[in-house]
Amino acid sequence: MYQALYRKWRPQTFTDVCGQDLITTALKNEIKNNRLSHAYLFTGCRGTGKTTCAKILAKAVNCEATVDGDPCNACAVCRGIDDGSVLDVTEIDAASNNGVDNIRDLRDEVAYTPVTGKYRVYIIDEVHMLSQGAFNALLKTLEEPPAHVIFVLATTEVHKLPATILSRCQRFDFNRISAEAIAARVAYVAEQEGLQLTSDAAMMLARLADGALRDALSLLDQCASGNTRIDAAVVAQVTGMASREALYALTACALRRDAAGALAQVDTLYRASKDIERLCAEWIGYVRNVMVLKSVKDGGDLVIASPEEMAQMQALAAEADLSAVLHVMDVLQAALEHLRAGASRRVELEMAVLRLCDPSLDNSQAALVRRLGELEKAVRCGATVAAAPHVAPTPEPTAAAVAEQPISAPVTDTAPQETASVPPPETTQPTPAAEEETPFTQWGAVLENLMSACPPLYGVLAQSQAVLKGNLLLICTDNAMFKELLEQGSNKKMLMQAITQATGTTYRVGLRRAVKVKKEEQDPLSQLLTAARNADVTVQEN
């Protein structure tokens, strides 16, 4: 009869146990030094070797000729424990034997001495499933069992055990096995079974196992049912997971606000019979990797991926803002909860995709932070936000349009001082066409330079903007202190140095004072809302 791979390749000695070196070393030393405890507690997530170590411990304490703390697996006791003929080792499933009567029967049995070996070993698996009465019935026996009895308790939810039980056991916490160790073990098993397993497929199995070696071997068994050569495509097809290229495309569309591309990708995966809930969970894991690479300078140790996948995720991390990545995580987490209760899983995921590609459709705090972050980035890059449109009354003759007033002395050490000259009235030469004004997109970099070079001047210009008119740089601000600060020669010099450092060019500098709008002529709320909408348009165009 065929035997599953995780059973066939279950370790028979402590040395063969994968990824739990500290625990196996401690248990081997206790056996060699004859310092055995009367009760052990093995806790950790599934598939990490708890029950396996419990069975090896049961053989080792009864073995007739241990080898450096490991059972020999050759004596009559070891062979009898393996085939179940030795009754001194009893394995109890607490999930189905969790009542007081079951524990009372066990308490009556411990009084009998072992038949074949030195100890009677009771392995209670999933011990957290015992009832409160069963725990109380076990307390006294667990604290002071007969000298020939050893208890080994195993659980995945140690927080459900009473403190009275925990205090009577020697506890060992089994960690999740690293992806590298799982991939190496899976590759070894595949080689022994005559399977051609690629390194990418081994790493994909390790990633899907999530620290549980038993799950990785079960997936390998599933993939080997119809294939002798197993690569990443076979693993993805058998397990029903989305390809890494599909997850990259979905993430890129969400961060770049490409709703059409994201919906098309979801449709392709849906037609390929991909489970929507699993797709959402895998997408969350992929975005988590992008978040780590964006937040940590050297995040390669925290992300499990092939070199090609790592390069793709690093490119996305460099392109996106952290606020956008966190917004994607937040929306996908909420969508995963709604998938289990919604009428159509596909519709729920498509709604989430639309919120990701257009944060204005999402009223959550994460969406607002993302929009503000993009707006700040646009402002730093020199993007201008248009004012709210309004119908202004006809200005009085004395209220001129925007006045351009050059600074009294050009803020440059190389250009000669220019004075305004009025042409004589009798001249008949045509007036040259006015130079076109263009936004000065590097003004944000100039302000960043001023932040460290001259904080007072930066504070005055923090809310200002700038435009170019030929070789003239016009600073748009209504702060009266700006002109006073520029009268100091050192401030002029630092401003020019900041401009030259940011642009590599020396400009003439002028001041533009904006026209003050009467308070009753403009609705502040309408101006704010319109400015926010215009900012979104500006960010998308950039």
- The string of DSSP codes covering 192-224 is HTT-EE-HHHHHHHHHHHTT-HHHHHHHHHHHT
Identify the segments of the chain with pLDDT beneath 70.
380-435, 479-481, 483-489, 513-542
Residue 155: per-residue pLDDT: 93
Length of the chain in terms of residues written: 542
Q: Is 504 exposed, middle or buried (0-12, 13-18, 19+ CB in 10 A)?
A: exposed
Residue 371: per-residue pLDDT: 82
Please give the distance of CA 246 from its chain centroid, rounded to a whole number: 18
Q: pLDDT by residue (tens digit) across 531-541? A: 655 655 444 44
Residue 420: per-residue pLDDT: 41
| Angle (CA) 93 94 98, round 5° | 135
Q: pLDDT by residue (tens digit) across 43-79? A: 999 889 999 999 999 999 999 888 888 999 889 899 9
Contact present, 477 and 464 (Cβ < 8 Å): yes
Residue 515: per-residue pLDDT: 46
Q: What SS3 string covers 335-391?
A: HHHHHCCCCCHHHHHHHHHHHHHCHHHCCCHHHHHHHHHHHHHHHHCCCCCCCCCCC
Pick the CATH number of 244-362 from 3.40.50.1580, 3.40.190.10, 1.20.58.220, 1.20.272.10: 1.20.272.10
Pick the CATH number of 179-239 from 1.10.8.60, 1.10.3720.10, 3.60.40.10, 3.10.20.30: 1.10.8.60
Same fold across 244-362 and 403-411+436-521: no
Residue 431: per-residue pLDDT: 44
Residue 429: per-residue pLDDT: 47
Contact present, 155 and 123 (Cβ < 8 Å): no
Residue 539: per-residue pLDDT: 45
The domain locations on the chain are: 5-174, 179-239, 244-362, 403-411+436-521
Helix, strand, coil content of the chain in percent (nearest 5): 55, 10, 35
Q: Is 192 exposed, middle or buried (0-12, 13-18, 19+ CB in 10 A)?
A: exposed
Fold of the CATH domain 5-174: Rossmann fold (3.40.50)
Pick the CATH number of 403-411+436-521 from 3.30.300.180, 3.30.930.10, 3.40.630.30, 3.30.200.20: 3.30.300.180
Residue 396: per-residue pLDDT: 42
Residue 536: per-residue pLDDT: 53
Residue 404: per-residue pLDDT: 43
Tell me how far apart the terminal alpha carbons of the chain are, to the nearest angstrom.
65
Query: Phi and psi for 304 in degrees, rounded to 5?
Result: -100, 110
Please give the distance of CA 185 from its chain centroid, rounded to a whole number: 27
The amino acid occupying position 394 is T
Residue 435: per-residue pLDDT: 64
How many Cα atoms within 13 Å fall on the side-chain side of residue 102?
Answer: 18
| Angle (CA) 261 265 271, round 5° | 145
How many Cα atoms within 13 Å fall on the side-chain side of residue 396?
Answer: 5
Beginning with the edge strand found earlier in the chain, give each strand of the sheet holding 465-469 in spatial order.
Answer: 403-406, 508-513, 472-476, 465-469, 437-439
Q: pLDDT by residue (tens digit) across 363-401? A: 888 888 888 877 777 776 655 444 434 434 444 443 333
Residue 533: per-residue pLDDT: 55
Q: Residue 148: helix, strand or coil by DSSP?
A: coil
pTM for the model: 0.62
